[in-house]
């Protein structure tokens, strides 16, 4: 049962201190989907129709130009972002598709070698709500195996593309997951009841997300200003209660030179403030479960 909840914390926020007395947990997530998108070359009935440089083709027609757009994220973008994170000694969560990691084992190994967290984004970058329950289960299990084999770590986070009412239940049934990210309805983690178990969800963000470049933003400076404004507001609110800020990036988007610079500048800006904890999702999950579980 996936019940809707319009009340949430009802402005009675939990009193919990982040590690080291931090006021704000800043979580950066990088979507690594390149190579797992729909592709006629991989046996899909049509090419991927989502993104920034989409050139639409009919069913069964391979779209090599669109394929190259995705390849940029895997060939170049991921490495540029990894270098930005290294520059600032920041660890992030990679929302990784198993197939994408299989196609780029060097990048897969680098994710965990540099201290970042691999979170399951499914095996294929496909809408789970379009799959049967058993198809979803197979995709989840296949993603777990692929991520563990290529990165050396079993994912403990779950973020399928276009989740449905079964997505969270499957995560609990299969076990091994600490949290999911299939909600956008809160600024803080919260627990839900699933099949008689207490399970943690860490809400994600679509506003502090570089997918905005695909929906009208042209200049990286616009994205940077938005991130700063969100940070400033949450940092101010965090004087009274703990807060969390979620930033979502994509290798094929923020991995581009000017956009990576905006990410670099935002991290540098946020690091000027005391009491900011740059945290992977798994770190937030473990802390929340320890303090409030």
Token pair in block for residue 145: 């195996």
| Structure-model confidence comparison of residues 3 and 92, the more confident one | 92
Least trusted range by pLDDT, from 41-55, 78-92, 271-285: 41-55
Residue 187 has a pLDDT of 94
Taking alpha carbons only, the member of 198, 203, 194, 173 closest to residue 2 is 194
Q: Is beta strand 24-32 parallel, antiparallel or unpaired with respect to 243-250?
A: parallel
**Average pLDDT of 262-281?**
98
CATH of the domain at 30: 3.20.20.370
**Average pLDDT of 276-283?**
98
Count other Cβ atoms within 10 Å, centred on residue 152.
Answer: 13
In three-state form (DSSP H/G/I as H, E/B as E, the rest C), the secondary structure along 159-202 is CCCCCCCCHHHHHHHHCCCCEECCCCCCCCCEEEEECCEEEEEC
Residue 53 has a pLDDT of 66
pTM for the complete prediction? 0.95
Residue 54 has a pLDDT of 65
Specify if 138 maps to a domain.
yes
Specify if 73 maps to a domain.
yes
Residue 236 has a pLDDT of 97
**Average pLDDT of 224-253?**
96
Taking alpha carbons only, the member of 111, 153, 120 closest to residue 36 is 120
Of the spans 56-60, 78-82, 130-134, which averages the highest pLDDT? 78-82
Specify if 90 maps to a domain.
yes
Domain region containing 57: 23-292
Specify if 12 maps to a domain.
no
Specify if 79 maps to a domain.
yes
Number of domains in the chain: 1
| Structure-model confidence comparison of residues 177 and 59, the more confident one | 177
Specify if 242 maps to a domain.
yes
Give tens-digit pLDDT for 117-144. 999 999 998 888 888 999 999 999 999 9
Specify if 160 maps to a domain.
yes
Specify if 152 maps to a domain.
yes
């Amino acid at each position: 049962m996936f019940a809707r909840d319009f009340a949430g914390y009802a402005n009675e926020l939990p009193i919990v201190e982040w590690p080291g007395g931090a006021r704000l947990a800043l979580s950066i997530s990088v979507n690594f989907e390149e190579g797992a998108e729909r592709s006629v070359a991989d046996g899909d009935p049509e090419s991927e129709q989502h993104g920034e440089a989409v050139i639409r083709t009919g069913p069964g027609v391979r779209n090599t130009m669109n394929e190259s757009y995705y390849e940029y994220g895997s060939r170049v973008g991921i490495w540029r972002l990894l270098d930005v994170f290294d520059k600032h000694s920041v660890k992030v969560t990679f929302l990784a598709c198993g197939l994408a990691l299989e196609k780029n084992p060097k990048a897969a190994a680098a994710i965990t070698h540099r201290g970042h967290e691999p979170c399951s984004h499914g095996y294929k970058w496909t809408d789970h709500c379009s799959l049967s329950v058993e198809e979803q289960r197979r995709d989840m299990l296949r993603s777990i195996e692929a991520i563990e084999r290529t990165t050396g770590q079993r994912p403990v986070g779950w973020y399928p593309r276009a989740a449905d009412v079964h997505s969270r239940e499957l995560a609990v049934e299969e076990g091994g997951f600490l949290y999911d990210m299939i909600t956008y309805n809160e600024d803080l983690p919260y627990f839900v009841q699933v099949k008689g178990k207490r399970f943690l969800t860490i809400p994600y963000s679509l506003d502090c997300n570089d997918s905005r470049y695909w929906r009208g933003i042209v200049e990286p400076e616009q994205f940077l200003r938005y991130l700063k404004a969100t940070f400033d507001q949450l940092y101010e609110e965090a004087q009274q209660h703990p807060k969390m800020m979620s930033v979502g990036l994509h290798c094929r988007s923020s991995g581009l030179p000017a956009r990576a610079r905006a990410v670099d500048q935002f991290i540098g800006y946020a690091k000027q403030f005391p009491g900011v904890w740059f945290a992977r999702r798994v770190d937030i999950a473990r802390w929340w479960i320890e303090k409030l579980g």
